[in-house]
């Protein structure tokens, strides 16, 4: 059998483009996935206690892109959910991102919106030339905000101080001058009613799509007949690390289940100063599941084998560009998604990108 497309990787990027090609253009697709499941990093499953968890870290869908939201709505219903995050500072939880509520609670004040602006202005450090992320935060929020929310958190998250990161990494402090304590303000947000994996299963439910799990594409690709490839795996691996290996920040995940209904005040708590983990997520608070026990996840950023976040410094962007230049010359391969583009994408961004790739293919097909 010959396939029109081989898609490498059954994550959101690969699944979206495969779904469009199969359902709209009647293309025959083979998806090759090296893990033992579909859905990539948005994979979720029920643990031994029957609680729905996100195996590769907590995911909340949020977007202002109506077309993307309409697209995902054709595969799942969504729960009504507004993501809330609190930071643990000086032994108390305060709302994130930093808002009027945060400042008032942190400094035991009762400021109005205008007064907050003046208060922040009085704390700002004057810096003549902004070069680093430390300069950005000091000049926009001052020393105390820098230490309480950014300095140690960044050291945990990236393994280096903001003083060693370019100004583009933390380009601004997302101060909110009102009392809105939602983490995202996008028009559409939530989680699929029956989970992300079920949503992905529905997207793949098409006789034109075959999925091969537990297989690195390089093991089988020479024996498969196909016209084109859509590659969503790591770009450096595609080229056998010809220019060197790209750096990613990884995360060690520690799941814990407690015999209690509720563990913490909101879905996600951040620990900018205390402990080795960066945040704790309580899954039931995102999924709305009712259960007498609760499962939480602690995240410990590290350098490790599993690639999660492209490293945000010039050196690695330049190396990725070398691979990108090579990839642009490929005639039969399209590089798509967070690993193939060495770019952090939220879920809505990666779906948007995959829909755009599909439209380009459709356009070319109709001109043939
Ligand atoms: C901790 C964390 C939390 C996040 N939280 C959010 C959030 O709250 N909201 C949000 O919108 N986004 C979030 N994201 C981003 C979201 O995970 C991505 O947008 C999405 O997973 C990107 O999909 P993808 O298909 O590009 O990559 P992936 O999901 O990684 O899919 C790529 C697939 O390719 C497979 N593959 C790799 N190499 C090979 C090979 N050689 N052969 C075969 N298969 C291969 C991989 O196994 C993987 O399944 C988060 C990301 C992380 C890391």
Residue 157's pLDDT band, with cuts at 50, 70 and 90, is very high
CA distance 42 to 19: 17
**Nearest CA-CA partner of 284 in 269, 267, 297, 268:** 267
Pairing relation of β-strands 268-270 and 85-89?
parallel
With a 6 Å cutoff on the Cβ, whether 11 touches ligand 1 is yes
Residues 9 and 140 in one domain: no
Query: Has residue 214 been placed in a domain?
Result: yes
Each residue of 15-67: pLDDT tens digit? 999 999 999 999 999 999 999 999 999 999 999 999 999 999 999 999 999 99
The structure tokens 């140690």 sit at: 152
**Ligand 1 centroid from CA 179, angstroms:** 33
Could you tell me if the CB of 335 is within 6 A of ligand 1?
A: no
Same domain, 89 and 157: yes
Query: Tens digits of per-residue pLDDT, 168-186?
Result: 889 989 888 888 899 999 9
In a domain, 182, yes or no: no
pLDDT value of position 95 = 95
- Of the candidates 129, 107, 125, which has an alpha carbon nearest to the alpha carbon of residue 116? 107
Instruction: Please check whether residues 124 and 206 belong to one and the same domain.
Output: no
156 and 102 share one domain: yes
pTM to 2 decimal places: 0.96
**347 and 215 within one domain:** yes
Instruction: Encode pLDDT of 77-134 as tens digits.
Output: 999 999 999 999 999 999 999 999 999 999 999 999 999 999 999 999 999 999 999 9
* Bridge partners for 105 per DSSP: none
Q: Which residues fall within 8 angstroms of residue 300, CB to CB, at 6 or more apart?
A: 251, 252, 253, 254, 276, 277, 278
Report how far residue 280's alpha carbon sits from residue 250's, in angstroms, rounded to the nearest whole number.
16
Structure-block tokens of residue 338: 């967070």
Q: Is the minimum distance from the CB of 14 to ligand 1 under 6 angstroms? A: yes
* 130 & 218 share domain: no
Q: Assess whether the C-beta atom of 310 lies below 6 angstroms from ligand 1.
A: no
The closest of 276, 21, 310 to 156, measured between CA atoms, is 276
- CA dist., res. 239 & res. 60, Å (int): 33
Asked if 225 and 143 sit in the same domain, the reply is no
In a domain, 293, yes or no: no
Return the pLDDT at 177.
Answer: 84
Q: Please tell me if the CB atom of residue 345 comes closer than 6 angstroms to any atom of ligand 1.
A: yes
What pLDDT, on the 0 to 100 scale, is given for residue 60?
97
Tell me, using a 6 A CB cutoff, whether residue 175 lines ligand 1.
Answer: no
Q: Is 153 inside any structural domain?
A: yes
CB 42 within 8 Å of CB 56: yes
Q: Going by DSSP bridges, is the β-strand pair 2-8/225-231 parallel, antiparallel, or unpaired?
A: parallel
Residue having the nearest C-alpha atom to atom 35 of ligand 1: 9
Dig out the tokens for 193 from the structure: 């009613």
Mutation probe of ligand 1 site: the residue of 30, 232, 240, 354 with most atoms within 8 A of C-beta: 232
Q: Torsion over CA of 308, 8, 345 and 245, rounded to 10 degrees? A: 50
Quick check: is 171 in a domain?
Answer: no
pLDDT tens by residue, 201-212: 999 999 999 999
Q: How many domains are there within the chain?
A: 2
Mean pLDDT (whole number) for 357-366: 95
| Residue where a domain stops, chosen among 144, 164, 184 | 164
Are 156 and 13 in a shared domain? no
Res. 368: pLDDT tops 90: no
Q: According to the model, what pLDDT value does residue 248 have?
A: 96
Q: Whose CA is nearest to atom 31 of ligand 1?
A: 11
Q: Ligand 1, from 9, 19, 252: best to mutate by most atoms within 8 Å of Cβ?
A: 9
Cα dist from 191 to 14, 58, 72, 196, 280, whole Å: 20, 11, 11, 8, 18
Examine the domain organization and report whether 237 and 362 are in the same domain: yes
In a domain, 234, yes or no: yes
How far away, in angstroms, is 308 Cα from ligand 1 center?
8
Structural domain including 121 reads 85-164
Contacts with 246 (C-beta within 8 Å, 6 or more apart), sequence order: 234, 235, 236, 307, 310, 311, 316, 319, 320, 323, 342
Task: Indicate the pLDDT class of residue 75, thresholds 50, 70 and 90.
Answer: very high
| Enzyme catalytic residues | 172, 176, 249, 279, 299, 344, 346
For range 311-324, the mean pLDDT = 95
Could you tell me if residue 335 is inside a domain?
yes
Protein residue with its CA nearest to atom 46 in ligand 1: 9
Q: Mean pLDDT in the chain? A: 96
- Residues 146, 205 share a domain: no
Residue given tokens 């206690």 in the structure block = 49
**Other CB atoms closer than 10 Å to residue 65's CB: what's the count?**
16
The tokens for 185 are 């303000």
- pLDDT score recorded for residue 175: 87
Q: Which of 149, 164, 179 is the last residue of a domain?
A: 164
Please identify, among 143, 164, 185, the residue that sits at the C-terminal boundary of a domain. Answer: 164
Residue 315 sits in the same domain as residue 235: yes
In a domain, residue 35? The reply is yes
Say yes or no: CB of residue 308 within 6 Å of ligand 1.
yes
Kindly report the CATH number assigned to the domain that includes residue 236.
3.40.50.720
Work out the number of other CB atoms within 10 angstroms of the CB of residue 119.
16
CB under 8 Å to 38, separation ≥6 — which residues?
Answer: 10, 15, 31, 197, 200, 201, 204, 211, 213
Ligand 1 atom 27, closest CA: 11
pLDDT for residue 97:
94
Dist. CA 65 → ligand 1 center (Å): 20
Burial of 274-294, coded b for 16+ CB within 10 Å and e otherwise, reads eeebbbbbbbbbbbebeeeeb
User: Measured in angstroms, how far is the CA atom of residue 338 from the centroid of ligand 1?
Assistant: 7
Q: Give yes or no for residue 337 CB within 6 A of ligand 1.
A: yes
For ligand 1, whether the C-beta of 142 sits within 6 Å is no
* CA separation for the pair 250, 259 (Å, rounded): 30
As a whole number of angstroms, the distance between CA 360 and CA 355 comes to 9
> Around Cβ 63, how many Cβ atoms within 10 Å?
20
- Please tell me the distance from the alpha carbon of residue 31 to that of residue 157, in angstroms, as a whole number: 33
Are 232 and 341 within one domain?
Answer: yes
Average pLDDT of the segment spanning 267-296: 97
Residue 2 has pLDDT above 90, yes or no: yes
Residue 367 pLDDT: 85
Q: Going by CA atoms, what residue is nearest to atom 4 of ligand 1?
A: 59
Residue 305 confidence (pLDDT): 87
């Amino acid at each position: 059998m010959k396939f029109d497309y081989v898609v490498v990787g059954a994550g959101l990027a690969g699944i979206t483009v495969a779904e469009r090609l199969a359902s709209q253009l009647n293309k025959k697709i083979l998806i090759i996935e090296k893990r033992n499941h579909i859905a990539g990093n948005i994979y979720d499953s029920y643990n031994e206690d029957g609680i729905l968890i996100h195996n590769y870290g907590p995911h909340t869908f949020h977007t202002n892109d109506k077309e993307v939201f309409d697209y995902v709505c054709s595969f799942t219903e969504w729960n009504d959910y507004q993501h809330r995050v609190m930071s643990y500072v000086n032994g108390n939880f305060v709302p994130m991102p930093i808002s009027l509520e945060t400042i008032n609670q942190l400094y035991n004040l009762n400021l109005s919106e205008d007064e907050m602006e003046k208060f922040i202005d009085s704390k700002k450090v004057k810096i003549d030339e902004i070069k680093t992320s430390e300069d950005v935060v000091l000049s926009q929020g001052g020393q105390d905000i820098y230490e309480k929310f950014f300095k140690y958190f960044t050291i945990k998250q990236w393994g280096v101080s903001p003083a060693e990161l370019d100004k583009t990494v933390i380009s601004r402090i997302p101060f909110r001058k009102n009392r809105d304590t939602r983490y995202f303000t996008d028009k559409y947000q939530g989680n699929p009613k029956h989970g992300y994996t079920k949503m992905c299963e529905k997207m793949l439910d098409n006789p034109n799509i075959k999925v091969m799990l537990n297989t690195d594409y390089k093991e089988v690709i020479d024996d498969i007949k196909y016209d084109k490839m859509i590659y969503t795996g790591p770009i450096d691996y595609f080229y056998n690390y010809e220019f060197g290996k790209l750096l990613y920040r990884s995360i060690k995940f520690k799941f814990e289940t407690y015999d209690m209904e509720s563990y913490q005040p909101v879905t996600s708590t951040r620990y900018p100063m205390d402990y080795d983990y960066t945040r704790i997520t309580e899954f039931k608070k995102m999924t709305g599941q009712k259960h007498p026990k609760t499962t939480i996840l602690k995240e410990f950023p590290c350098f490790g084998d599993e690639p999660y976040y492209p490293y945000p410094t010039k050196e690695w962007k330049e190396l990725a560009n070398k691979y990108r230049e090579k990839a642009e010359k490929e005639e039969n391969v399209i590089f798509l998604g967070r690993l193939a583009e060495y770019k952090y994408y939220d879920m809505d961004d990666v779906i948007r990108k995959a829909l755009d790739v599909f439209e380009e293919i459709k356009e070319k097909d109709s001109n043939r």
